[in-house]
Structures are given as structure tokens and as C-alpha cells.
């Protein structure tokens, strides 16, 4: 049986170091981060370049959110949505110019698959179904493109282990 909100708030006010995990219904709806779940699979399979691929996915997500963040509504009242007010740091701007933009130009329309997986958190099976490919197509494509991003950024040598 779930506790009422006031009971949970009283309990939290008495114990300041307790983390509120939400209600049971909220916990059921939570999803695992797609980067974390894919990185776990890379560790299980013993990919040598797994940590580099994971950091590349996180970097792509960070740059995408910083660039397109102003276009994503964050308020319940859409009239309050403004453009990006956070200035992009010099490092981020340099990574975007030198690596991210050439990478997106190189992979072309496949960037939509990466955005679907990384930003929209669409399951890989649904991406496979939408592209009318067999199971594993989206996963292989993502690994191939993340490896290419790592090669462009210099974190993996030109002869990657995953291809």
C-alpha cells in the first residue's frame, strides 16, 4: 500500500539523508539510460573500446542537448519557452566544430537513428522495426558510428576493435 504524500514528506523531513524514490507507480515508469544499458552489454562481451564508446555517446548527447536545447520545450505553458540562454563553453564549441559537425555530415541520415536511440530513448527493437531490418541492425549501426566518432576525436586509433 502506498503512503500518502504528507506521510512521505513527514518521514523525509525527519530523516534528511533519505533519498525520495517516488511512488511505486513512478518507479515502474522509470527507464534505464540507453547508454548505460548498451555499455553493460559491451562490458559483458568484453569490448576493449567500450569505455571510449560510452564517453562518445555521452559527448554526442551533451552537444546535441546544448545545441538543440532551446528548441525543446521545458515549461508546461509553451508561451514561456525561450531560446537557448546558456552560453556554449569554448571547449564544447570547439568539439562541435571540429568533430561533431563533420561526424553528422559523414553519417548523413543515420544520425536520425542515433538521435532516436540517444535522445528520444527509443528501444533498439523499435528502431529495427521502423527501418524494416533484422534484429541487431540498429545496435551494429550505433556501435559503428560511435566508433567512427571516437576515431575522429582521437580516443581510438584508426584500427578499432569493434566493426
Per-residue pLDDT reduced to its tens digit, 70-100: 666 555 554 554 554 555 577 788 888 889 9
Distances (CA, A) of 104 to 63, 132, 138, 155: 12, 23, 17, 18
- Residue range of the domain that includes 111: 32-153
Residue 9 within any structural domain of the chain? no
Does this model's pTM top 0.85? no
> Given this model, what pLDDT does residue 64 score?
87
User: How far is Cα 69 from Cα 72, in angstroms, rounded to an integer?
Assistant: 5
Residue 20 within any structural domain of the chain? no
Cell numbers standing for residue 39: 555499455
Residue 54 within any structural domain of the chain? yes
Residue 145 within any structural domain of the chain? yes
Helix pair 124-131, 111-118: axis angle to 10 deg: 150
Residue 50 within any structural domain of the chain? yes
Which residue's entry shows cell 523531513?
Answer: 13
Q: Is residue 63 a contact partner of residue 92, using CB atoms and an 8 Å limit?
A: yes
> Given this model, what pLDDT does residue 146 score?
92
What is the per-residue DSSP string for 28-74?
HH----HHHHHHHHHHHHT-TTHHHHHHHHHHHHHHHHHHHGGGS--
Residue 17 within any structural domain of the chain? no
> Which residues in the chain show pLDDT less than 70?
1-21, 70-88, 159-163
Distances (CA, A) of 149 to 60, 61, 70, 131, 143: 9, 12, 24, 22, 10
Residue 97 within any structural domain of the chain? yes
> Given this model, what pLDDT does residue 159 score?
61
> Given this model, what pLDDT does residue 133 score?
83
Domain count, the chain: 1
> Given this model, what pLDDT does residue 10 score?
57
Amino acid at each position: 500500500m502506498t503512503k500518502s504524500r504528507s506521510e512521505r514528506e513527514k518521514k523525509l523531513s525527519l530523516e534528511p539523508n533519505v533519498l525520495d524514490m517516488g511512488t511505486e507507480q513512478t518507479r515502474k515508469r522509470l527507464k534505464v539510460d540507453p547508454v548505460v544499458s548498451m555499455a553493460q552489454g559491451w562490458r559483458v562481451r568484453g569490448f576493449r573500446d567500450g569505455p571510449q564508446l560510452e564517453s562518445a555517446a555521452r559527448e554526442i548527447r551533451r552537444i546535441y542537448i546544448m545545441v538543440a536545447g532551446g528548441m525543446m520545450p521545458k515549461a508546461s505553458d509553451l508561451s514561456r519557452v525561450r531560446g537557448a540562454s546558456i552560453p556554449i563553453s569554448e571547449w564544447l564549441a570547439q568539439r562541435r566544430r571540429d568533430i561533431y559537425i563533420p561526424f553528422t555530415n559523414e553519417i548523413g541520415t543515420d544520425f536520425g537513428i542515433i538521435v532516436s536511440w540517444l535522445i528520444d530513448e527509443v528501444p533498439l527493437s523499435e528502431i529495427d522495426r521502423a527501418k524494416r531490418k533484422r534484429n541487431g541492425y540498429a545496435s551494429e549501426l550505433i556501435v559503428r558510428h560511435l566508433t567512427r566518432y571516437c576515431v575522429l576525436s582521437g580516443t581510438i586509433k584508426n584500427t578499432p576493435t569493434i566493426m
